[in-house]
Structure 1
Amino acid sequence: MNLIKDAWIPVIRAKSGRGVIAPWQIAELDDPVMELAAPRPDFQGAMYQLLIGLLQTGFAPEDFDEWLDYWSKPPDATLLRTRLETLAAAFDFDKPDSPAFMQDYAMPDGEKKGIASLLIESPGGKTVKDNLDHFIKRDAVQHMCKSCAAMALFTLQTNAPSGGVGHRVGLRGGGPLTTLVLPPEQMPLWQTLWLNVLDREDMPEYRQDRVAGVFPWMGPTRTSEKNGAETTPESVHALQAYWGMPRRIRLDFPAKASMGDCDVCDVKNVALVEEYRTRNYGVNYVGNWVHPLTPYRFDPKKEKPPLSLKGQQGGLGYRYWLALTLANDTENGDAAAKIVRRYSEQRATELKIQRTARLWCFGFDMDNMKARCWYDHTFPLFNLAPQQRKKLLQWADDLITVANDVSSLLRKQVKAAWFRRPEDAKGDMNTVSLDFWQRSEPVFYELLDQLAKVSGEQELPPPELYSQWEKMLVSLSLQLFDAWVLEAANEDMDMKRIIAERDGLKRLVYGCKSMKTIKARALPEKEGTDGTKTDVLLS
């Protein structure tokens, strides 16, 4: 099976519906591919990244003009096939004694594991031994078809979390967030993928390097035992960012494979993959790696490498909107993914996309080796002039900052109402915050849409929008306090304490610095005695 030449990717076509394709068929026009149809959400996200990586590696446009040409009209499928097949030698999948996709170059032995261990949420050996696999049971997956095995392998390598001693995390760290730009309306898959491909002028200066510099499985593994090598961006080809391979894995393909049904996609009567071998101390990615599809936090002191943003407990609500869409501080703080910044700063204007595009964010929330949740969220992306972008960044930051403060105060006061000695209580208050963020989200996006329409020449935000946000936050915080305290079984239902903490919540919300900023901007301008207008500020 060759992952370039053979049809193995599940898709939905415009006319014929569900089917499987080879990668080069994404450019076919007679029955265009509209969407991928992977059997799991983490596979879906990984397959988007695999196809984007293929285009970036084998079909990157020379400059923005060529990028625009292929946006308007996809390349001839025969041309795309010819270009991608130059990479085919690196995409053999099931050759036991040859280089194989995402598998260790030469690993004659290793610990044997069932194929389910490729799935990130699969219970580990100690969990099974201690009989702690309560929610995700062992042996739920024992057989995979080759297509699902390839998807599972790539998903693990690109998201690899901590895996025990010497089992390395992915190039972006364990469980990174991925952010992809989506068109504002349904378009063929080609346009969606192409929105996330950089042209060569946007890419780092590439050295002419041997193929193993791009695809680490095409040469001896850069192992990382005590005297092993660390792998920095300077030590391999920059395109390896799309093809990181931290885990040493070799799938077992016996000469006479078992036939049956796949436990993941339920395809019938196919050759099955059941086991693989693994060893620790694979490729150890360190240094200033920056993946073009991932947002990062940069150290102002330049002492630590960039840190990829990860999935967070409680999901990917609007509190992360700024960091994922508009942030652009690659020197001192958060920066959206490079592909997102390229869209916002250039492509949105050139494509004349008037409707709001979307940002698809997804990733695992990992607690070391344990997958707590898979998060999948869509944010709005706006077509903004530079001055509008600058002002919206500040205005959105105002709204999110005060929401964050109110969320913290709400959580604190609910805990104080629940317990006589809240400092000694060890309950998880994240559900209170999550409720707050979810309920306030629709209003935030309504206001954000209106703020995005304000002219870049206007210095101050419309005061009525800030006033609306202020009133909603106060009202919502009190509503949620009542719901979480009066409708829950707290310690002793001490109404005197509850009323005192509720009054304290209202006082603290009105008194916090960020709320005073919002209130100041929510006040209308007052006309001075000389006919000029002055801002009314609160002390």
Structure 2
Amino acid sequence: MNLLKDAWIPVQQAGLMEKITLQQLLCNEKQGELCLPRDDMEFACLQLLVAITQVLFPPADKAQLVQRLKQPLTRSEYDDGCEGKLDWFDLDHPETPFMQFRGVNAKELTPMDKLMAGVADGTNKTFVNPQGLIEGLCAGCVSIVLYNTAYNCPSMGGGFKSGMRGSTPITVLIRGDNLSQTVWHNVLTAASLKREMPCYEPSDITLPNYIEGLRKDSKLSASTIGLAKGLFWQPARFELAPIEGEGVCSCCGQNLPLYTGFKKEKFSYTIEGVWPHPLSARTFTIKAGQKEEKFPSFTTSQPSWVHLAKLVVDKDNGKEGYHPAPVITQLKSFGAKRLNLMVGGYRNNQATVLERRHEMYSLASDWQENTSLVDELITLAQEYKKALRKALYLFGEGVKDSFAGAGVNLTDQYEAVFYQSTEQLIQDTLAEISYTQPSSALDSLSSSLKARVTQLFDQAIFPYRQEPKMLKALASSRRLLNKYLKDLEPHGGNHE
């Protein structure tokens, strides 16, 4: 199966699911919405489509990118982009199979479920995966899984390397009006590549490492890793076992030849520095005059909007800050009015996936000139959450030699409730706020958050209101809450 020639992209249109080719998608011969049983698989499929399009059909400038958003590729343009690269995307190539290495040394085959995040090891797998999800995979689905494992998942444990962006990075993608537009919205022009990757040259002919090979224990500088190598970096030595027969793919549900196992082998190397992936923001700190960068990830159960400022805001206070993903920077430079953003990733504990995220956000017109407002809005919401936590902490712990607390920890429980109950409020504010005249929207948000925090505090302390020994704790914690809420009240007209 070859990703440039064969039908492997699972789409649904008018309620019917089919697989289409990359040529049909980019030449606008067929369209549809991605259709797979898991949102992270759809997200990975979209990332793979973007990576292939970026490497094969990079637009020279904004004018050419806008043209490709409006007009599909011709068949001759498609063939020209694929020339010389068909072997890169052949899943069963005898020497350089897609995202694999030949000659992997393994005594036994590993079941396919080890390739899909959270199926074999996830603590919540019972609730999110249909039974028998990954007993056997067709060529199209296993290509998506290989790419997802290489770029989005934690490593398989000791001796296995994480992907180019480290373990479980957050990925951002810009959503278009249809699938092909979404792909093109996330492709960088040559000018954007040169700005984000100073070592990039339009004549870049670096090869993916599964094509070029990689010596064990080798050391590479991120600055020497070209576009194709960076977008198709395989961090682990995997090799699919030969197909043994046909059956129903446990992912897409079609009756096709299936892969049921693979070989894996530990392999060490070192990459020095950070490669600026087009779909990832980067946070940084400056220590002893040196800039240390990393990719943000979901490390707690906090919702995705908590991280949103890191994903779209360019901030540098001299000690730390963050840079948005290059695709976001490009869209800002184009003066796009509205941003429809997809955010995805996993939360993990070492090799175990604890949770998966796939959410959508919309930023209203003029966001690109006022991204600092996103930071301000999120900080405001977080301050209200802190007010609730501090008041409940005082209620639970009390003050030594003054009054006893309730002896219960309510802070974590009600922080989770706060996030759940304010998610839609935050999303609506981001989508509807006037980024040039935000005062009234921020005042309204502040009022809504104050009401919600007061309600949650009352809900938390309600069972203790009739206990005389709790009166001091109740009064003191409420007084503290009111003080924090008073301090957070808008002071008028400072946002214009």
Aligned residue for 1:52, secondary structure, equals: helix
Q: Could you say which residue in structure 2 is the equivalent of 1:303?
A: 290
1:252 equivalent in alignment to 2:241: yes
Aligned residue for 1:163, secondary structure, equals: coil
Aligned residue for 2:421, secondary structure, equals: helix
Letter in 1 for 2:154: P
| Structure 2 counterpart of 1:521, from 470, 482, 492 | 492
| Structure 2 counterpart of 1:91, from 80, 89, 97 | 89
Q: Could you say which residue in structure 2 is the equivalent of 1:343?
A: 331
| Conservation of the 8 A alpha-carbon contact between 2:41 and 2:144 | yes
| Conservation of the 8 A alpha-carbon contact between 1:325 and 1:381 | no
Count of aligned pairs between the two proteins: 485
Structure 2 CA distance for partners of 1:523 and 1:374, relative to 1, 3 Å? closer
Post-superposition offset of 1:312: 4.3
Q: Could you say which residue in structure 1 is the equivalent of 2:24?
A: 25
| Conservation of the 8 A alpha-carbon contact between 1:418 and 1:485 | no
| Structure 1 counterpart of 2:339, from 344, 351, 357 | 357
User: Cα deviations across residues 40-75 of structure 1 (Å, max 9, x unaligned)?
Assistant: 211111111111111110100122221122122121
Letter in 1 for 2:346: F
Structure 2 CA distance for partners of 1:482 and 1:448, relative to 1, 3 Å? same
Q: Could you say which residue in structure 1 is the equivalent of 2:38?
A: 40
Post-superposition offset of 1:400: 2.5
Letter in 2 for 1:372: L
Structure 2 CA distance for partners of 1:449 and 1:20, relative to 1, 3 Å? closer
| Structure 1 counterpart of 2:136, from 138, 143, 151 | 143
Separation in 1 of the partners of 2:119 and 2:181? 34
Structure 2 CA distance for partners of 1:206 and 1:446, relative to 1, 3 Å? closer
Letter in 1 for 2:241: D
| Conservation of the 8 A alpha-carbon contact between 1:246 and 1:285 | no
User: Cα deviations across residues 177-217 of structure 1 (Å, max 9, x unaligned)?
Assistant: 1111113xxx3322111111111121134359896x33111
User: Cα deviations across residues 263-294 of structure 1 (Å, max 9, x unaligned)?
Assistant: 223323x3221111111125544312111111
Q: Could you say which residue in structure 2 is the equivalent of 1:179?
A: 172
Letter in 2 for 1:507: K
1:220 equivalent in alignment to 2:213: yes
Letter in 2 for 1:193: V
| Structure 1 counterpart of 2:449, from 466, 473, 485 | 473
Structure 2 CA distance for partners of 1:81 and 1:418, relative to 1, 3 Å? farther
Letter in 2 for 1:361: V
1:278 equivalent in alignment to 2:264: yes
Give runs of aligned pairs for residues 366-405 of structure 1, distance below 5 A. 366-384=348-366, 389-390=368-369, 392-405=370-383
Give runs of aligned pairs for residues 488-527 of structure 1, distance below 5 A. 494-511=470-487, 515=488, 519-521=490-492
Structure with greater contact order relative to length (CA < 8 Å, sep ≥ 6)? 2
Separation in 2 of the partners of 1:175 and 1:239? 21
1:230 equivalent in alignment to 2:215: no
Structure 2 CA distance for partners of 1:413 and 1:215, relative to 1, 3 Å? same
The answer to which of 471-480 and 171-180 deviates more is: 471-480
Aligned residue for 1:250, secondary structure, equals: strand
Stretches of structure 2 that go unaligned for 5 or more consecutive residues are: none
Separation in 1 of the partners of 2:106 and 2:476? 67
TM-score normalised by length of structure 2: 0.86
Stretches of structure 1 that go unaligned for 5 or more consecutive residues are: 456-460, 525-534
Post-superposition offset of 1:82: 3.9
Give runs of aligned pairs for residues 328-339 of structure 1, distance below 5 A. 329=316, 332-339=320-327
TM-score normalised by length of structure 1: 0.80
Post-superposition offset of 1:360: 0.7
| Conservation of the 8 A alpha-carbon contact between 1:5 and 1:85 | no
Post-superposition offset of 1:296: 1.0
Letter in 2 for 1:366: N
1:293 equivalent in alignment to 2:284: no
Aligned residue for 1:10, secondary structure, equals: strand
